[in-house]
Chains A and B, each alone.
Chain A
Amino acid sequence: MRLFPLRLRLCLISGLALVGVAGCAHRPPVQPWQREYLSKRAMQFDSDPQEDRFRQHWLGAREGADLGFGQSGGGCGCN
């Protein structure tokens, strides 16, 4: 099989483009005094690691695309 399918390549290119766009700008898009809303919980992607820990465990026991990324196995008598 091809190591990187087309969709993954598109995602990687998108990510690199994001980095590129950031690097080409002359100054940061946000100044320190403009960060009020960025501190909201809605603007943080991993704001609740305890919730994520539980979630990854039950999703890993029920779906084929989770676990193996550092979560504990077991928990249901199975992998």
Chain B
Amino acid sequence: MILCLALVGAGRAEANDYVVVRGAYYREASTRVIQPMVELQREAPGTGVDVAAHFLVDAITSASIAAGTAVDNVFTEIRDEVGLRVRKRWQRSDLALSYRYSAESDYWSHGVAASFGHRFWEDTASVRVSAGRSFDAVTANGRMPVCRPGGAQMQSCDLNVWFGGISYSQVLSPVAIAQVSYEAAYVEGYQGNPYRMVSSLMRYEHVPERRMRNAITPRIAYYLPASGTGFQLNYRFYFDYYPGDPGTRGAGDPWQIFARTIEARVYQQLLPSLEARVLFRYYRQNHAQFWCDAGATPPGSVPTAFCLANTDPPTGYPSDAVYYAADPKLGPVVTQYPEMQLVWQADALRDVPFLRWFSAGAFEISYGYYFQNTSFGGAHLLQTGYRLAY
């Protein structure tokens, strides 16, 4: 990472050079995540080329390796991620190529992506197209996973993803801008959790191998100059389906998750050097069609195409189920997330010994609480960061 940045050149600093250091803390009843991260960007003077690199560590401590089941095994796992992006900018266009690698003891992921953006209509409109590919391998510590029911034990199971997206942004007025984007991803391979067992069947979960994921996101931002207040409203509509024959013996598509996200943000300049951001996010999804609640089966209930009883959500896996999972995030999920963030431009440190080194940057801190209706329960999120443009 350092070598790549060094290759860009040690000349004078450009307007786009920066370093960001961040720390994030996530805590819910059975899981705690601590994530330190550093990112640098350096521009080669006069070439329009910049290079950015990031490195982060996830330290995950969980009371349940199966994340949501009743298995009590305290474990700590470390995930490392590095990423590199090279971008070339022209007067109205830019092309970026990126690579990232993520590794932990039972999960490895390589990802490559390309992104091209172009501004037009006197820079009031822009289009961005992106595409990428990732290659993941999943295994289970302590045993060799079975990637498909009835299959042989393997060293690891593969997961391949092709993804792409397009977005269009339009300045509507001096104080309003809108954007609409569409993302799609084709996911093929092992999409379950090799540790998670469906207790009623006493089998490790088996999730459909193919999935076509889609999301469309309109967004709008508006600024009130008189009060120095900015507003953002984001809506995201997501749906997925099984491409091709799902092999469900006529039961239909096992996926069909539909999700809606609404997020509102308010930015307020409190002081010339202090800005506050208040955020509220609401998310709701239905359950995947093949997903059945692990609760008891009410007697006499009518079965569904995938489950034993037509409750809401449907309950109980039949013994000959094609797909089965105990993953809470494939069930009906409703979450809310309010958050407050403060960003302070540290100009006031200019005359303080030692601390004056930080005066050219900005500190930020945020706290949010993540309400979940699933067995994970609520979660506290604390994030801090410092950004220095140099």
Indicate if B383 sits at the interface (CB-CB under 8 A): yes
**Contact, CB under 8 Å: B231 / A42:** yes
By the criterion of a CB under 8 Å from any partner CB, how many residues of chain B are at the interface?
112
Least Cβ–Cβ distance between B344 and chain A, in angstroms: 13
By the criterion of a CB under 8 Å from any partner CB, how many residues of chain A are at the interface?
49
Least Cβ–Cβ distance between B281 and chain A, in angstroms: 9
Give the distance in Å from the alpha carbon of A51 to the alpha carbon of B111 in the complex: 19
**Contact, CB under 8 Å: A72 / B191:** no
Contact with A along B245-266 (1 / 0, CB 8 A): 0000000010011010100010
Give the distance in Å from the alpha carbon of A7 to the alpha carbon of B54 in the complex: 38
Beyond A22-B170, A42-B223, A77-B195, whether A70 also contacts B122 by CB under 8 A is no
**Contact, CB under 8 Å: A42 / B193:** no
**Contact, CB under 8 Å: B168 / A18:** yes
Indicate if B232 sits at the interface (CB-CB under 8 A): yes
Q: Summarize B's interface: helix, strand, loop or mixed.
A: strand
Beyond A64-B329, A72-B81, whether A19 also contacts B35 by CB under 8 A is no
Give the distance in Å from the alpha carbon of A12 to the alpha carbon of B184 in the complex: 14
- Which residues on the A side are within 8 Å of B256 (C-beta)? 1
Give the distance in Å from the alpha carbon of A72 to the alpha carbon of B218 in the complex: 24
B257: contacting residue among A15, A51, A64, A70, CB under 8 A = A64
Contact with A along B10-52 (1 / 0, CB 8 A): 0000000000101010100001010101010000000000000
- Which residues on the B side are within 8 Å of A35 (C-beta)? 174
Indicate if B299 sits at the interface (CB-CB under 8 A): no
Q: Which of B123-180 contact A (CB under 8 A)?
A: 123-125, 130, 132, 134, 136, 138, 159, 161, 163, 165, 168-175, 177-180
Give the distance in Å from the alpha carbon of A18 to the alpha carbon of B195 in the complex: 47
Binds A, one of B57-65, B301-309, B352-360: B57-65
Binds A, one of B86-94, B234-242, B312-320: B234-242
Give the distance in Å from the alpha carbon of A43 to the alpha carbon of B213 in the complex: 28
Indicate if B367 sits at the interface (CB-CB under 8 A): no
Write the residues of chain A forming the contact surface with B, with a CB cutoff of 8 angstroms.
1, 5, 7-8, 11-12, 14-15, 18-19, 22, 28-32, 34-38, 40-45, 50-51, 53-54, 57-58, 61-65, 68-70, 72-79
**New contact pairs (11) apart from A36-B174, A58-B370, CB-CB < 8 Å:** A1-B241, A12-B216, A30-B173, A32-B123, A41-B343, A51-B22, A58-B26, A62-B328, A62-B370, A64-B257, A73-B109
